[in-house]
C-alpha cells in the first residue's frame, strides 16, 4: 500500500534506536524504499542511508513515520504541509493522542498497515496572519492551536475578539486559544475547553484565566474567520504561539487573523483504532464494564 516511506525523529537514545530498528526491519521485509530527513540525528540512522532535504523528502514519500511524541508528529506535519503525504506516529512521548503505535507493537501493527489494514483520518489545519498596521509581519499554519498569550509580565493582557467581523468580546486574561478538534485535547483541555471529535467541523475559543466568571469557552463553525486585536498599552507583554512554538512578539494594535486552510493533513491509524478508547486510556476515564 505504501512503497516509499520516510522516517523522522528529533531525538536520540536507546528507545529511539530500538523503534528505528523495529521500523526498518518491517520496511525492509516489505521491500519499501526508505528515506530519512536531513535534520534526523545521525546516530539513529544506519550508515547506508543518505539524508534528504525537506523538499526532496516530501516529494519522495507516500508515508512518513514520526518517532517520538505528539510534538514530533506536529513538527513533521508542519514540515510536510501542504503536501498530501500520509502521516503516522510511533509514540515515545507521554499521552500520545496522535501517535498511537506503541513501540512494542511496531512489528505487528506497522506490518498490517503496510499490508493495507489501516484507518485514514483527515485533520484540520489553521492558517494565521499577524498584521501591524497594513503590514503582514508573520504568517503560518497550526494543527493544534493558535494562542495569543501574556509574556514576560505577571499581569493580565487585554484582547478583543471578532468572529466573521462581528464583535464577540473584550477580555482581560492571560490570553486566548483558538483550537482545532486535534488541539482540543492539548493546551485547550488544560484551559477547561471541550473535547471535540476529530471530524467535527468546529473550532474552540478558550480563554486562559479570564478575569470574569462569565467568560466561557465557545465552539464555533470551522469556516469562521477570527480576528483578535491586542489592546495592551505597553510593549513586550504579549506573544503569538502556535502548536507550542513561538511565532511573534505582539504589540498594542496588532491584529491576528485566524482561519481554516483548505488542505488538511492525513493521519494513518491501525485498523482497530478507537477514538473513545484512546480518550479513556489517556485521560484515565476507567475501564469498559462490558
Write out the catalytic residue numbers: 70
Q: How many CB atoms lie within 10 A of CB 102?
A: 14
**247-277 burial, b for 16+ CB within 10 Å, e for fewer?**
bbbbbeebbbbbbbeeebbbbbbbeebeeee
- Supply angle C-alpha 73, 186, 228, rounded to 5: 105
Radius of gyration for the chain, computed over Cα atoms and rounded to the nearest angstrom: 20
* Calpha distance 233→23 (Å, rounded): 53
- Can you say whether the dihedral through the CA atoms of 271, 108, 92, 53 is positive or negative? negative
Q: Are 152 and 237 in contact (CB under 8 A)?
A: yes
* Calpha distance 253→244 (Å, rounded): 23
Q: How many CB atoms lie within 10 A of CB 95?
A: 16
Instruction: Copy the grid coordinates of residue 264.
Output: 488538511
Instruction: Copy the grid coordinates of residue 5.
Output: 516511506
72 φψ region: left (φ > 0), alpha (ψ -120 to 50), beta (else): alpha
Q: How many CB atoms lie within 10 A of CB 190?
A: 11
Q: Are 184 and 195 in contact (CB under 8 A)?
A: yes
Q: Beta strand 218-221 with 63-68: parallel, antiparallel or unpaired?
A: unpaired
Q: How many CB atoms lie within 10 A of CB 138?
A: 16
Q: Are 45 and 51 in contact (CB under 8 A)?
A: yes
Amino acid at each position: 500500500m505504501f512503497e516509499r516511506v520516510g522516517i523522522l525523529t528529533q531525538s536520540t537514545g536507546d528507545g529511539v534506536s530500538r523503534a528505528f530498528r523495529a521500523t526498518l526491519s518491517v520496511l525492509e521485509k516489505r521491500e519499501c524504499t526508505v528515506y530519512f530527513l536531513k535534520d534526523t540525528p545521525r546516530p539513529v540512522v544506519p550508515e547506508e542511508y543518505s539524508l534528504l532535504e525537506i523538499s526532496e523528502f516530501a516529494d519522495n514519500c507516500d508515508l512518513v513515520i514520526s518517532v517520538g511524541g505528539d510534538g514530533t508528529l506536529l513538527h513533521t506535519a508542519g514540515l510536510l504541509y501542504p503536501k498530501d503525504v500520509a502521516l503516522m506516529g510511533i509514540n515515545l512521548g507521554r499521552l500520545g493522542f496522535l501517535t498511537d503505535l506503541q513501540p512494542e507493537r511496531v512489528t505487528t501493527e506497522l506490518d498490517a498497515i503496510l499490508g493495507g489494514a489501516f484507518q485514514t483520518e483527515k485533520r484540520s489545519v489553521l492558517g494565521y496572519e499577524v498584521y501591524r498596521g497594513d503590514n503582514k509581519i508573520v504568517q503560518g499554519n497550526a494543527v493544534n492551536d493558535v494562542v495569543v498569550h501574556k509574556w514576560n509580565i505577571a499581569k493580565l493582557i487585554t484582547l478583543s475578539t471578532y468572529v466573521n467581523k462581528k464583535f464577540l468580546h473584550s477580555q482581560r486574561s492571560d490570553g486566548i486559544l483558538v483550537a482545532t478538534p486535534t488541539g482540543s485535547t492539548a493546551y485547550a483541555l488544560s484551559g477547561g475547553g471541550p473535547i471535540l471529535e476529530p471530524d467535527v467541523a468546529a473550532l474552540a475559543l478558550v480563554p486562559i484565566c479570564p478575569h470574569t466568571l462569565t467568560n466561557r469557552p465557545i465552539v464555533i463553525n470551522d469556516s469562521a474567520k477570527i480576528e483578535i486585536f491586542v489592546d495592551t498599552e505597553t510593549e513586550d507583554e504579549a506573544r503569538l504561539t502556535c502548536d507550542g512554538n513561538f511565532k511573534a512578539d505582539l504589540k498594542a494594535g496588532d491584529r491576528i487573523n485566524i482561519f481554516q486552510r483548505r488542505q488538511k493533513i492525513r493521519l494513518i491509524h491501525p485498523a482497530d483504532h478507537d477514538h473513545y478508547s484512546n480518550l479513556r486510556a489517556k485521560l484515565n476515564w476507567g475501564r469498559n464494564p462490558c
